[in-house]
Amino acid sequence: MADCECLKGCIFFNDKMKNKEALGDIYKKNYCRGENSACARFMVFKNLGREAVPCDLYPNMQTRANELIAGS
Ligand code: SF4
Domain limits, the chain: 7-70
Asked if residue 34 has pLDDT above 70, the reply is yes
Measured from the CA of 12, which atom of ligand 1 is nearest? 3
Torsional sign, CA 26, 32, 35, 36: positive
Asked if residue 72 has pLDDT above 70, the reply is no
Q: Is the Cβ atom of 36 under 6 angstroms away from ligand 1?
A: yes
% of the chain with per-residue pLDDT over 70: 99
Q: How sure is the predictor about 20, in pLDDT bands with cuts at 50, 70 and 90?
A: confident
Q: Is the Cβ atom of 58 under 6 angstroms away from ligand 1?
A: no
Helix axes 62-70, 40-48, angle to 10 degrees: 20
Whole-structure pTM value: 0.94
- Mean pLDDT for 53-67 is 97
